[in-house]
Structure 1
Amino acid sequence: MKYKHVLFLIQAAVIAAIYAVLTLVLMPFSYGVMQVRISEALTILPYFTPAAIPGLFVGCLLANIIGPYGILDIVFGSLTTLIAAVGSYFFRKYPLLVPLPPVVANGVIIGLLLHYAFGVPVAIWACMLWVGFGEFISCYVLGLPLMRLLKKYEYIFK
């Protein structure tokens, strides 16, 4: 029984570390209105393991603590990733929909945050669409092929 808890913690920690490192190493692409956080491709991982939910949240939290946008991004950006990860977990029976919750959650919440809190001088719908489009690239263009690749190694998540 203890083995399952240890495995869960290790998986969550590894996912958090990979998410944070990818986000920070690719910082120019990871923040802003037209952001393509390559690390968001990892939001497909709840398809394989529930440990990805806290892993993604903590990884995003770490990246946002170090990132340039401060407390609002730390709180709301990280919570958005948590919402997205939970949504992806609930869609795990429908693999093509697993990347959808991060696209919608980030498009709406981060779009609102950029427009209202950070005063990005474009229409609210444009902020939402740009963030959503960047998220679509991360989650569908990169994440879905990653999910197909990881299916071959699904046993490592068990």
Structure 2
Amino acid sequence: MKQKNVIFLTQAAMIAALYVVLTLVFAPFSFQEIQVRLAEALTILPAFTPAAIPGLFVGCLIGNILGGAALPDILFGSLATLAAAFLTYVLRNRSPFLAPAPPVLVNALVVPFILRFGYGILLPIPLMMLTVGIGELISCGILGMALYFVLHRHRSTIFGDLAC
């Protein structure tokens, strides 16, 4: 049982670290009303391991803090990632094409309000839902699904006993 806990914590920490690095390295594309946060491709990982749920949450939280995000973004953006990760985990036994749906939908609904109230961006909320949704489709729907199919081939090697 101890070994599973160590593996779980190690996977969560690695996912968090990857999320932070991808967010910061690609910071010019990771924030504002038109964004393609490449780290969001990792949001398909709860389909493989439950360790991705806290890993993505902590990674988003740290990435937002280090990226200089506004407090509403740090709090509500990270909580949106947590909710999306949990929903992806819940859908893990369904079609793999559903894996990117929770992060795309949750972020398209939540992030525009963060942009409005956290950053004072006055574009219409529906327009920001569209731009954030398109960015999420690119990150999660295209890059995330490419990652999904690569990882699916090697799931037991990469995720070991914690693979869903």
TM-score, length-scaled by structure 2: 0.93
CA distance in 2, matches of 1:83, 1:103: 11
Q: CA deviation at 1:24?
A: 0.3
Map Cα deviations across residues 24-52 of structure 1 (whole Å, 9 max, x no partner): 01000000111100000000000000000
Amino acid in structure 1 at the alignment position of 2:159:
F
**Corresponding residue of 1:7:** 7
Q: CA deviation at 1:112?
A: 1.5
Q: CA deviation at 1:8?
A: 0.1
**Corresponding residue of 1:120:** 121
Q: Do residues 77 (structure 1) and 80 (structure 2) align?
A: no
Q: Do residues 27 (structure 1) and 27 (structure 2) align?
A: yes
Q: Is the 8 A contact 2:16 2:58 kept in 1?
A: yes
CA distance in 1, matches of 2:15, 2:5: 15
Map Cα deviations across residues 67-87 of structure 1 (whole Å, 9 max, x no partner): 232211110111010011001
**Corresponding residue of 1:41:** 41
**Corresponding residue of 2:145:** 144
**Corresponding residue of 1:97:** 98
Q: Do residues 133 (structure 1) and 156 (structure 2) align?
A: no
Amino acid in structure 1 at the alignment position of 2:109:
V
Amino acid in structure 2 at the alignment position of 1:47:
A
Which 4+ stretches in 1 moved above 4 angstroms? none
CA distance in 1, matches of 2:116, 2:126: 9
**Corresponding residue of 2:61:** 61
Q: Is the 8 A contact 2:44 2:88 kept in 1?
A: yes
TM-score, length-scaled by structure 1: 0.97
Amino acid in structure 1 at the alignment position of 2:58:
V
CA distance in 2, matches of 1:108, 1:20: 22
CA RMSD in angstroms, aligned pairs only? 0.9
Q: Is the 8 A contact 1:53 1:82 kept in 2?
A: yes
CA distance in 2, matches of 1:38, 1:26: 7
The count of residues paired between Structure 1 and Structure 2 equals: 158
Once the two structures are aligned, what percentage of the paired residues are identical?
Answer: 54
Amino acid in structure 2 at the alignment position of 1:151:
H
Q: Is the 8 A contact 1:43 1:85 kept in 2?
A: yes
Q: Is the 8 A contact 2:70 2:119 kept in 1?
A: no
Q: Is the 8 A contact 1:115 1:127 kept in 2?
A: no
Unaligned runs of 5+ in 2: none
